[in-house]
Structure 1
């Protein structure tokens, strides 16, 4: 162990999940004396009980879970690097083209030899994955395998904790919700200060692309102590950062709390069609809902019914914003009139078959959106499409509109409890379903304190953190945890989350309704294309 471990937390260890479920909203929602979970040898493929604990079958570090190890790039110079962090094995293969004087005829043999070493390393990593103990105690957690984040080849997690102590982490987060801001400022910030002596600073932004621009500029200036730490991110911003090599990692699928997620599931392995590759830690599972004060008989239950309602009895009672929440509504129309991921099965390709299909079907979407445009709510200053979704929420709160769409599953309940929305407000799922996706936190490649960022990111994935975000009075967000993970399924945590769900406000759709109506997202290339074309064909239409 390198350096000293962080000082123990000042508070008493919190209570267990069975007791947490019934606590009042203003009480602590921490974890308690929960049984340790023993990770048995993967090769045995079975569970055994130890001191009342439950075995956790680890994810075998195969090529699928470890991520791409071998990359052969055509060009002047290709460097293939494999590092099995923790075992201290580093392999470098340099390949030059024939003009550089190297023997490229031996490339296949070199790659084959490298693959053999990869297999040997994976076997060693699996063998080392024996009798490790997963614990909920934040100062005793361990890396779940021999794999380590880049730059920390021989570190234990306690070494990461020690290096993180005293650091400052700037958390760039969307600033459009008082609820999410409050969770960071008043729940997360004091706990990471107490547990890890980390100063967490929330930096509110109205567009994540601004954080991406800051990172890009600092990287281009060779600033190795970047001002951006964690970023709340997904979709096109993640795609841009990954494509431009602006992200640090893989780290998320190697952190101690990675065992609470299934990193091979499509909801986590892909971010709007882009492989996450351990560069992002799951934050929340977002499923959109429609929010209304209309009676059940009056409310539109499909997009075609919404079109009819807006043109009929709902004239002036609906609008949508220009930001990412408004674009969610646009994609609902795209799913209905052009098709979803089941139709657009591969990324948008300029001059290819997907581009041709898009060109054929997208005009139907713009036609329908333009069809309802004359009947949307228009403010006194002539604004038809508000810049940001909070402006739409204000219209709803004032009774100016009767229908909205939101990524917040519990938004109606939260605003009713806050006295902002009338008690008759109801969140619901369309008969045709509603779009869902996962959002994440990521670390820029030039973050000033990568240990601090990893520690905060890992704690965001702590079950007590997820539980607090699931509480409707705090946030009410869905969580993307793996319910089959034994340390979740067999220690009372599922019952705790179930309790929160059963205590949900009557205005919130049931878990069953949400699960039955969950629609997948289009590939990020379409998300970007749709937004651009909406601006050209609807927002700025002549």
Structure 2
């Protein structure tokens, strides 16, 4: 469904931070994990022994067909070789998984039904602040040796230190995409994209926040109107918000009448935006998963002249992770799943465009020649440049507190105008 643009008078920006307040208050009385938790493991062989026979429930966003198929058809059989049964639990919002953890912790359950969560950003921060994640366990995973300990995307998750509380799974790079037949002279900066959209009424739009793709687009515009990503402090403060966002809201509100359907309605998510591009109703789209573009062009879903728009000012890059709730009763099995998912074999398979097309989190220079060959053999794409090109001039994510504040500000000052 699309998001209608309501018309009300402008309201002053206010801060709306998703805190899950009731759950967090309840968690204040929860005890810390006992000696049977993963923090007590010092030997990987013991983890493997305890994991055998366990069933691990992985809660993850269920709207990505390729991701679902990868977990069911590739990852699950791989962990089954260790005697672990992996069950995927689809959710429409990662907060659903976190709320289940909070509810079970509040009830005092130490046999939680959530064993792993595909997570990053504000959900990770909220869980960490509530002591809902097990920490200091990822260093025991053998596959962690093939990651770069100094990689900033793996050290900090939207400004929140990872601290061994989640295992890296894959990287993402926000990417703008265009139909080169319709846009023969594409812009080279985000400001140029906005100018192009204003000059071509109805041929551009973006998903409505809080959809994660729409949210990151708004953050990219914030960086552009502020003079660059370095001009926006990573840490959130109300003073920085009040200083920087008026120009953002003015720019997006001025652009709105030139958007698809006059800005009266917005796609609800990246999938709806992609469908508009596939139907040739718009000439640009955007995604966190550009590797999937190859298949969409090959099967005729997207125009044959679809290309990636590389911007001089760069775009946001981040990583997503697997978080292990503190009350999981299959902690050893969850650790095995996280380790297998991080292996060179799984990272390379998951990077194949026709499998899932996700960028690996491994340091390829640290791999053996045999493992490096798995990545060297990945097919090149006529549509998508390499990750090195995509991530050129990339900038990191803002702290998680920025996200709900900007989402709420967009609703008040753009959607409601």
Same fold (TM over 0.5): yes
SS at match of 2:184: coil
Task: Map residues 525-536 of structure 1 onto 2, 5 A cutoff.
Answer: 525-536=401-412
- The answer on 1:414 being equivalent to 2:295 is yes
- The answer on 1:216 being equivalent to 2:94 is no
2-side partners of 1:341 and 1:218: how far apart?
Answer: 40
Q: TM-score, normalised by structure 1?
A: 0.67
- The answer on 1:385 being equivalent to 2:266 is yes
> How much has 1:395 moved relative to structure 2?
1.3
SS at match of 1:426: strand
- The answer on 1:332 being equivalent to 2:332 is no
Task: Map residues 137-536 of structure 1 onto 2, 5 A cutoff.
Answer: 149-152=38-41, 156-193=43-80, 195-295=81-181, 297-322=184-209, 323-338=211-226, 342-345=230-233, 347-349=235-237, 355-378=238-261, 384-485=265-366, 488=367, 490-500=368-378, 503-536=379-412
Alignment match, 2:15: none
> How much has 1:483 moved relative to structure 2?
2.9
2-side partners of 1:422 and 1:212: how far apart?
Answer: 38
> How much has 1:498 moved relative to structure 2?
2.8
Mapped contact 1:253–1:281 kept (Cα < 8 A): no
Mapped contact 2:314–2:391 kept (Cα < 8 A): no
- Structure 1 runs, 4 residues or longer, greater than 6 Å off: none
2-side partners of 1:417 and 1:197: how far apart?
Answer: 38
For CA contacts below 8 A with separation 6 or more, give which structure has more relative contact order: 2
SS at match of 2:289: coil
> How much has 1:232 moved relative to structure 2?
0.5
Provide the aligned C-alpha RMSD in A. Answer: 2.4
Alignment match, 2:25: none
> How much has 1:308 moved relative to structure 2?
1.7
**CA deviations over 1:14-54 (Å, ceiling 9, x no partner):** xxxxxxxxxxxxxxxxxxxxxxxxxxxxxxxxxxxxxxxxx
1-side partners of 2:316 and 2:212: how far apart?
Answer: 13
2-side partners of 1:241 and 1:275: how far apart?
Answer: 13
**CA deviations over 1:351-399 (Å, ceiling 9, x no partner):** xxxx3232111110111111111122239xx961222221111111111
Mapped contact 2:187–2:193 kept (Cα < 8 A): yes
2-side partners of 1:344 and 1:291: how far apart?
Answer: 25
SS at match of 2:140: coil
2-side partners of 1:247 and 1:160: how far apart?
Answer: 18
2-side partners of 1:391 and 1:383: how far apart?
Answer: 15
> How much has 1:346 moved relative to structure 2?
5.0
SS at match of 1:492: helix
Tell me the number of residue pairs that the alignment of Structure 1 and Structure 2 aligns.
Answer: 384
Gaps of 5+ in 1: 1-79, 86-147, 350-354
**CA deviations over 1:317-376 (Å, ceiling 9, x no partner):** 433243011111111101111256533445223xxxxx3232111110111111111122
1-side partners of 2:229 and 2:205: how far apart?
Answer: 27
Alignment match, 1:26: none
**CA deviations over 1:48-95 (Å, ceiling 9, x no partner):** xxxxxxxxxxxxxxxxxxxxxxxxxxxxxxxx99x9x9xxxxxxxxxx
Change (3 A) 1:495 1:198: closer
Mapped contact 1:320–1:404 kept (Cα < 8 A): no
Alignment match, 1:98: none
Gaps of 5+ in 2: 1-31
2-side partners of 1:173 and 1:252: how far apart?
Answer: 19
Deviates more, 1:360-369 or 1:296-305: 296-305
SS at match of 2:360: coil
**CA deviations over 1:408-461 (Å, ceiling 9, x no partner):** 121221212333212211123212111100111111111121111111011111
Which is higher, the Rg of structure 1 or of structure 2?
A: 1
